Amino acid sequence: MRVVMVGAECAPFAKVGGLGDFIQGLARALAATGVEVQVLLPYYRGLLPEPFVSRLEPLDVAVSIPLDGAALECTCWRLRAEGLDCVLIDPAGDWFRRPHVYGEPDDGLRFALFARAADALLRRPGWRPDIIHCHDWQSALLPALQWAVTDAGEPPVRVCLTLHNLAHQGLIEPAVLARLGVDVGTLLGPGPLDDPAAPGRANLLRGAIHCADFVNTVSPRYAWEVLHTGQGMGLQGVLQAHVDKFGGILNGIDDALWDPRTDPLIPVHYGPDSLSLKARNGEALRRRLGLRARAAPILAVVSRLDAQKGVELILGGIDSALALGCQVVLLGAAPDAAVAARFAAKREALADCPDAHLELAFDEGLAHLIYAGADMILVPSRYEPCGLTQLIAMRYGTVPLVRRVGGLADTVVDANHSDRPVGERNGYLFEAQTTEAVHAVLGRAAWLWRHHPDHFDRLRDNGMRADHGWRRPAARYLDLYRGLLGA
Ligand code: ADP
């Protein structure tokens, strides 16, 4: 079976958040089962880490797409590294020669262009896959293109769409699609890209939900929430209409890459059988970030800093943790200037505090050290399609404190309030989006850390021994592909 993943991120080549981990992890896990998997990404010139640039091989395949009535040539580069087989699409011009993966004023056109080029490539002789698996809005034009045009004499290619975040849907002007030579008349007015909430505009994600053969979210609970709890962000109607091809598959993490027994980015290796060594990573973390040496639990936050992640609750949680005698490390990047300013002000206010460090950046190496060195991680999301930081933290014996929402609710079992066996409890949950609720959950965790460290270690141990790897979810995706192929 030949599967092609199409998306905007794939770690370690391009990563902004969990999408990068997801495509990397699923592609590697499927490849391990013998599936032929290829990942299609834009070639982000200037962002691809240097060691990989020298490994690019130009591909002898001509892809050209219409742009403003002329032909835009796209070079395709093959990158085989880290157990992944990628094709990087490189349209002539500066479309992907930007300082960031996202956040450019012409993102709509840039990613529509990427999806259009991916579609053109996958129609070339020898390139047609069995399954096209798209991710989020950046590749969401592709299912609509496949739906609209079937290659003569060929059955349609089966298309899956995974929804990692409904907040970003790719709302663009039809004129943008027309610039790319897309048959706007078939897709809009009326057509699958119509959005009743945004008349006159094209909604790429909505169109992909309509046109794909299967659609899933990255946790079962989020699939239910988007249908029934007002979290559908305007897409609940189209998802209801297609509920027979909609479900939720819980994400995994790549447990070969995220493994405290072998992780090259942490100073002291440890595992469930040598948990006491974890404390030495805590010491290294304190030294690196200038925290004083103290017998206190370290609370971590590793997150994109935006409204989804619960900005108020993160800021309130920092104050609560310090008031409860914890130490705090935060690693986060805020794409929005107003949010960035709030965290910069907090960092300023805590500049002389020996128990807190806020690092406002994206730093993969520091993230690993934090997972290894911290005792608890706070994830107070307003909504969370799956969430990977709680899974990674558990793998490193760092206890998650999370809001009972989406994939967080599917993966964290409360230490005190649960009907599940003690051997499955791995963290703490809270419901209300209030600083009081965060304070209470921090109080429960800090109390256990201080007064019953053996019980706290039990929570760490349960999290470390649980199987959150990709094997199980990859088997679910494989079943799904087989079902679509009638195999
Ligand atoms: P989302 O995809 O919504 O950002 P997830 O929890 O699914 O959230 O995935 C976040 C991923 O990004 C994790 O691998 C986490 O370690 C990583 N990450 C988030 N912020 C940073 C940062 N500032 N520096 C390094 N890694 C980060």
What the block records as the tokens of 309 is 């992640």
Average pLDDT, the chain: 97
pLDDT of 79 > 90? The answer is: yes
Whether omega before 190 lies within 30 degrees of 0, making that bond cis, reads yes
Q: Which two tokens stand for residue 348?
A: 């300023």
Sheet containing 428-430: order of strands: 356-359, 327-333, 298-304, 376-379, 399-403, 428-430
Nearest CA to ligand 1 atom 15: 389
Region 51-67: what's the mean pLDDT?
96
> How is residue 256 annotated by DSSP?
T
Residue type for 310, please?
A: G
Q: Whose CA is nearest to atom 12 of ligand 1?
A: 17
Indicate if ligand 1 lies below 6 Å from the C-beta of 389: yes
Q: Is the Cβ atom of 387 under 6 angstroms away from ligand 1?
A: yes
For residue 451, count CB atoms less than 10 angstroms from its CB and return exposed for 0-12, middle for 13-18, buried for 19 or more. exposed
Distance 474 CA to ligand 1 centre (A): 21
Question: What span, in angstroms and rounded, lies between the C-alpha atoms of 344 and 414?
Answer: 33
Mutational pocket test of ligand 1: of 162, 266, 303, the residue with most ligand atoms within 8 Å of the beta carbon:
303
**Residue entry with tokens 């769409």:** 161
Residue 487 has pLDDT above 90, yes or no: no
Q: For residue 165, which atom of ligand 1 is closest to its CA? A: 3
**% pLDDT > 70, the chain:** 100
Question: Which 3 state secondary structure label does DSSP give 152?
Answer: coil
Cis? peptide before 400, omega within 30° of 0? no
Average pLDDT over residues 203-232: 97
Per-residue pLDDT tens digits for 452-462: 999 999 999 99
Provide the pLDDT for residue 408.
98
Name the residue with the closest Cα to ligand 1, atom 20.
303
Q: At what angle do helices 311-323 and 435-451 cross, to 10 degrees?
A: 40
Q: What is the pLDDT of residue 425?
A: 97
Closest residue by Cα to atom 22, ligand 1, is: 362
Beta partners for residue 4, in sequence order: 38, 132
CB atoms inside a 10 Å sphere around CB 460: 22
Contact 169 CB / ligand 1 (< 6 Å)? no
For ligand 1, whether the C-beta of 363 sits within 6 Å is yes
- How far is 143 from 116, CA to CA, in rounded Å? 10
Q: What pLDDT, on a 0 to 100 scale, did the predictor assign at position 172?
A: 96
Q: Are 394 and 260 in contact (CB under 8 A)?
A: no
CA distance 270 to 278: 6
Where are the extended beta strands (E) located within 50-110? 57-58, 63-67, 70-81, 84-91
C-alpha 441 – ligand 1 centre gap (Å): 22
Q: What is the DSSP letter of 351?
A: T
Under the banding of pLDDT at 50, 70 and 90, the label for residue 116 is very high
Q: Find the helix or strand (DSSP H, E) in which 342 lies.
A: helix 337-349
The answer to whether residues 145 and 469 touch, using CB atoms and an 8 Å cutoff, is no
Residue to probe by mutation, ligand 1, list 301, 314, 389, 410, most atoms within 8 Å of CB = 389
Q: How far apart are CA 121 and CA 35, in angstroms?
A: 20
Say whether pTM exceeds 0.85: yes
Answer whether 431's CB lies under 8 Å from 419's CB: no
- Ranking 196-200, 285-289, 357-361 by mean pLDDT, the lowest is 196-200
Phi, then psi, of 476 in degrees rounded to 5: -65, -45
Tell me, in angstroms, the distance from the centre of ligand 1 to residue 252's CA: 14
pLDDT at 245: 97
Pairing, β 171-172 against β 327-333: unpaired
Percent of the chain with pLDDT over 90: 97
Q: Is 332 touching ligand 1 by the criterion CB < 6 Å?
A: yes
- Is the CB–ligand 1 distance for residue 411 below 6 Å? no
Average pLDDT estimate for 30-36 = 97
Residue 151: the pLDDT is 83
Question: How far is it, in rounded angstroms, from Cα 134 to Cα 130?
Answer: 13
Judged against a pLDDT cut of 90, whether residue 153 lies above it is answered with no
* CB distance 392 to 377 below 8 Å: no
Give me the amino acid identity at 99: P
Decide: 159 and 132 in contact? Cβ < 8 Å: yes
pLDDT of residue 101: 96
Tell me the pLDDT tens digit for each residue of 438-480.
Answer: 999 999 999 999 999 999 999 999 999 999 999 999 999 999 9
pLDDT tens-place string over residues 418-443: 999 999 999 999 999 999 999 999 99
- Average pLDDT score over residue span 132-151: 96
pLDDT tens digits, 283-303: 999 999 999 999 999 999 999
Could you tell me the pLDDT band of residue 321, with boundaries at 50, 70 and 90?
Answer: very high
pLDDT bin (cut points 50, 70, 90) of residue 154 is confident
Is residue 310 within 8 Å of 382, Cβ to Cβ? Answer: yes
Confidence of residue 152 (pLDDT cuts 50, 70, 90): confident
Say what the pLDDT of residue 46 is: 95
Residue 486 has pLDDT above 80, yes or no: yes
- What residue owns the CA closest to ligand 1's atom 9? 18
The rounded Cα 184 to chain-centroid distance in angstroms is 31
Question: What is the DSSP pairing of strand 158-163 with strand 131-135?
Answer: parallel
Q: In the prediction, which pLDDT does 213 show?
A: 98
List phi, psi (to 5°) of 408: -65, -45
Which atom of ligand 1 sits closest to the CA of residue 15? Answer: 12
